[in-house]
Amino acid sequence: MSYFVVFKMDTEYDNVKTDDNFKDIEITKEDIISPIAEDEEPESAVEEIDNIPETQHVTNWDILVLLVSIFSHIIDVALDINLAYRYFRHKQTVYFVLTVVFILFPACVNTGISIRMYMFDTEAASSTKMAIKKWTIRIFVLLFQLAPIMRYCDSLDYALKSRRAERIKDRVTQRKYYELMLKEDSDVALLRVFECFLEAAPQQILQVAIVLVERGHGSTFQLLHQLGSISSSLLSMAWSMASYHRSIRFCQKDKTNLTWSGTAMQFLWHFMITVSRILSISAVASAFPVWSGVACAVHWLLMTLWLSIFEKTQFSLINEKASTSERFHELVFCATLGLVYIFTYLTPSDGSTRNRYLIYYPICFVENAAAITTWAITADDRLQSSWYFVPFLISGIVPFLVGIVFMVLYYKFFHPKTSRKVGVSSYTVKEPITDCTTQTDTCKNDEVCGIVPVL
């Protein structure tokens, strides 16, 4: 929950306290005030920020991105269903069952998370006929496992309403729906991350492993379908992470802008890391499917324990004030996030990420090296003489290191500052860091807040 400290210029600054509804802290003039030079315009001293400026409005680009997101999600699901159908048609029962499981399981997880989000968003006005109608549509869509589509449609609806309000010069309504659009964007960004790393990533491992196992026995047409699905999923996973970080920064008022160049660096960082993880796990899974599954399960368990014990989210297992129900929901969330951690790192709470990265990425690098080495030394002569043997060896190590380089470049040159300044008359007020730190926080005092604020 963000909060502002508002001043009148003739007010004494000795001891300024926030409202009782906020944290009981004391702020002194020296802590929060820094004068602006006399010859400097106040506006020029205020950093461009990712909160919502008064002049902000919905652009044609915003609407286009939402439409593309809706259709790309539908195409993704359709491609997976198409592959499952082809396996069923060719009586490849094991491939068919695994493909269907990797479609339905993440869809059910996303549906549960989306329902929980809607429950937190429910307000007193939810008993109106319009709200009942909206809930009916939501339930219908969620039953068909299309949770992100519902969120995208809600965001598009708010965007169009904001545009209509702008045309009639209703600035209050325009701003209201613009904020709601940002809220939906942050929620759907998280859902898309879960969908990509719970559905697309396992699906890619399965399809790449099948390609390696079949080794020319399948039809060329089927191979093209598999390669198309693998490529599109890799791109969507990297973009989901980059867009997630960007969306979350938009709805936190203490965070400065993530530029498009910064977004591009994040995309390349996560794309390279993900490619390396997917191909390394796929390679060893094609030779040792059971042991690969065991290794992934151990990694998931360790990550879940790490999140449950050491990450200080609101309902952490070490939080004595949390109820049993809250602890259970937190454990479920940590377990879900632990699955994402098999492939990439997603910051679960506010704070420094350096030490987390120093633990997580070396573990992943060692796993990649072990997986690709095991696959290489156990390969038969036919596999070692194939054209893709050496590229696969390289793909397990080099993209990972390149991804780390992009991460370092991002934090060195493109990462925004973690606090911002708000201009007040001839002074600049430093705003405190948001206190919205877990996936269960809801928006208060008309703030726009993501479901898991990070960075």
The tens digit of pLDDT for each residue in 293-345 reads 999 999 999 999 888 887 755 444 455 566 677 777 788 888 888 988 998 88
262 pLDDT band, cuts 50/70/90, is confident
Residue 64, helix vs strand vs coil: helix
* Interval 57-70 mean pLDDT: 79
Residues 417 and 437 in one domain: no
Give the domain extent around 359: 60-237+259-345+352-422
pLDDT of 13 strictly over 50: no
Does pLDDT of 9 surpass 60? no
**Do the beta carbons of residue 375 and residue 388 sit within 8 Å?**
no
User: pLDDT band at 216, cuts 50/70/90?
Assistant: low
The pTM of this model reads 0.69
The dihedral through the CA atoms of 47, 50, 55, 59 has a sign that is positive
pLDDT band at 220 (very low <50, low <70, confident <90, very high): low
For the ranges 25-34, 209-218, 434-443, the maximum mean pLDDT occurs at 209-218
Give the pLDDT score at 110. 77
pLDDT at 217 over 50: yes
The per-residue pLDDT for 84 is 86
What is the pLDDT, as a whole number, of residue 233?
74
Report the pLDDT value the prediction gives residue 218, as an integer from 0 to 100: 58
Distance CA 12, CA 435 (A): 27
- According to the model, what pLDDT value does residue 121 have? 64
Which pLDDT score is estimated for 349?
A: 65
pLDDT tens profile 279-291 = 999 999 999 999 9
242 within a domain of the structure (yes/no): no
21 and 144 both lie in a single domain: no
| pLDDT category of residue 104 using cuts at 50, 70 and 90 | confident
Residues 45 and 83 grouped into a single domain = no
Say if residue 27 is in the same domain as residue 157. no
Greater confidence (47 vs 293) lies with 293
Q: Which residues contact 177 (CB under 8 A, 6 or more apart)?
A: 158, 159, 161, 162, 165
Instruction: Report the DSSP beta bridge partners of residue 49.
Output: 256
Between 210 and 135, the more confident residue is 210
In a domain, 366, yes or no: yes
Give the lowest-confidence range in 57-71, 311-325, 344-358: 311-325
Name the amino acid, one letter, at 376. A
User: Same structural domain for residues 388 and 440?
Assistant: no
Same-domain check for residues 305 and 375: yes
The pLDDT, as a whole number, for residue 375 is: 92
Mean pLDDT of the chain: 72
Alpha helices by DSSP H, listed for 60-198, are: 60-89, 93-121, 129-143, 147-167, 171-195
Are residues 67 and 40 both part of a single domain? Answer: no
Per-residue pLDDT at 441 exceeds 60: no
Residue 5, CA distances (Å) to 27, 28, 31, 437 in order? 9, 11, 12, 21
Instruction: Please check whether residue 245 lies inside any domain of the structure.
Output: no
Contact 234, 278 (CB under 8 A): yes
**Range of weakest confidence among 282-296, 354-368, 422-436:** 422-436
Q: Are residues 184 and 47 in the same domain?
A: no
Pair (65, 155) in one structural domain = yes
In a domain, 247, yes or no: no
Structural domain contains residue 140: yes
Output the pLDDT for position 109.
80
Q: Do residue 379 and residue 314 come from a single domain?
A: yes
Given a cut of 90, whether residue 360 has pLDDT beyond it is: yes
Dmax over CA atoms of the chain, in Å, equals 84
Is 274 a member of any domain?
yes
Can you tell me the mean pLDDT for 165-171? Answer: 87
Quick one: pLDDT band at residue 401, thresholds 50, 70, 90? very high
Look at the chain and report how many structural domains it folds into: 2
Do 188 and 41 belong together in one domain?
no
pLDDT value for 439: 37
Residue 311 burial by Cβ neighbours in a 10 Å radius (0-12, 13-18, 19+): buried
* Same domain, yes or no: 140 and 287: yes
Q: Is the pLDDT of residue 125 over 60?
A: no
Distance CA 197, CA 204 (A): 10
Give a yes or no: residue 338 inside a domain. yes
pLDDT of residue 24: 43
Q: What integer pLDDT is reported at residue 351 of this predicted model?
A: 63
- 223-242: average pLDDT: 72
Q: 69: helix, coil or strand?
A: helix
DSSP character for 431?
P
Q: What is the mean pLDDT of residues 385-399?
A: 88
Mean of pLDDT values over 165-174? 87
